[in-house]
Amino acid sequence: MTPEEIITSGNLELYVCGVLPPEEVAEVEEAIAAHPEVKRETELIEQSLLHLAESVAPPVQAMTWTYILNSIRNIKDKGDNKIRTLNWPAITGWAAAILFMGGIMWMLKQTNDLNNKLQVTTTENTVLKEEKSTVENQLAENNKTLEILRSKEYQAYTLPGNQAVAPEAFAKVYLNKKENVAYIDIKGLPTPPRGKVYQVWSLKMEPLTPTSVGLIDSQNKVGDGIYKFVNFPAPEAFGITLEPEGGSETPTLTQLYTLGMITI
């Protein structure tokens, strides 16, 4: 074959990889010795393989690479012509070692990715368990409160909305007159605007004497929309007003949202 035919046949790649049939090796080696372009193409293929190996292997010091290349290459002198041949057993060994190292690096990366995913999953499971525990505790607290409100010691009263301020609003009071304990359900009230808070008042009607029972805030919350109040004067009526944050000493009657009488 001509040099061009040898270059385009693919035999040089097979020769460099060490898989060219023995009967064709001699022909390729003769072409390498006789034709500079064939020799140059062979060296380019060899360099490409080495670069590929470098790209998948960890960094190697220059002296180490020199040792490897000297182990791979076997320089033979034939008369005045110096023919470079390749030490294929060495190439095969080093290629296998490099591929093995690349495989180990790939496995380590896969293991690291798996560990990261496992850590994320563990964190998500922990968050879900905490949320589940919180919901279960809230449900248990709601059930406990519901059982209390259903007991015969508590009477239920509805506080209708003030027609001039919030006609659709309402609240419910569950009152234990004997122990002077009140649970107030405010789900019928609109969400207060920023900087405002609902305040509950115990009222004596003759003369009108309001006494603050407390604020609708987290300190008094015992369930979803339910607030507990204790130690207030026996009421003739309950009122709920909208007040500045922190509450007021006297009710703002222009912001009276609900008002309801308590039967004796």
Q: What is the pLDDT of residues 93-124, one digit of tens each?
A: 556 666 656 666 667 677 777 778 878 888 88
Token output for 259:
């008002």
Burial (0-12, 13-18, 19+ Cβ within 10 Å), 240? buried
| Full residue range of the structural domain in which residue 10 is found | 1-150
CB of 6 closer than 8 Å to CB of 31: yes
Query: Which of 150, 169, 189 finishes a domain?
Result: 150
Query: Which of 150, 165, 199 finishes a domain?
Result: 150
| H-type alpha helices, 18-163 | 22-34, 36-56, 62-72, 88-150
**Same domain, yes or no: 44 and 107:** yes
Q: What is the mean pLDDT of the chain?
A: 79
Pick the more confident residue, 122 or 35. 35
**Same domain, yes or no: 160 and 216:** yes
What pLDDT is stored for residue 19 in this prediction?
66
Burial (0-12, 13-18, 19+ Cβ within 10 Å), 180? middle
> How far, in Å, are 15, 191, 199, 226, 243 from residue 9 at the CA level?
11, 82, 93, 87, 92
**Same domain, yes or no: 116 and 236:** no
Reported as a pLDDT band with limits 50, 70 and 90, residue 7 is: confident
Could you tell me what percent of the chain has a pLDDT over 90? 31
**Same domain, yes or no: 9 and 136:** yes
Reported as a pLDDT band with limits 50, 70 and 90, residue 82 is: very low
CB of 228 closer than 8 Å to CB of 222: yes
How many domains does the chain divide into?
Answer: 2
**Same domain, yes or no: 216 and 180:** yes
Query: Which of 103, 134, 150 finishes a domain?
Result: 150
**C-alpha–C-alpha distance, residues 224 and 233, integer Å:** 26
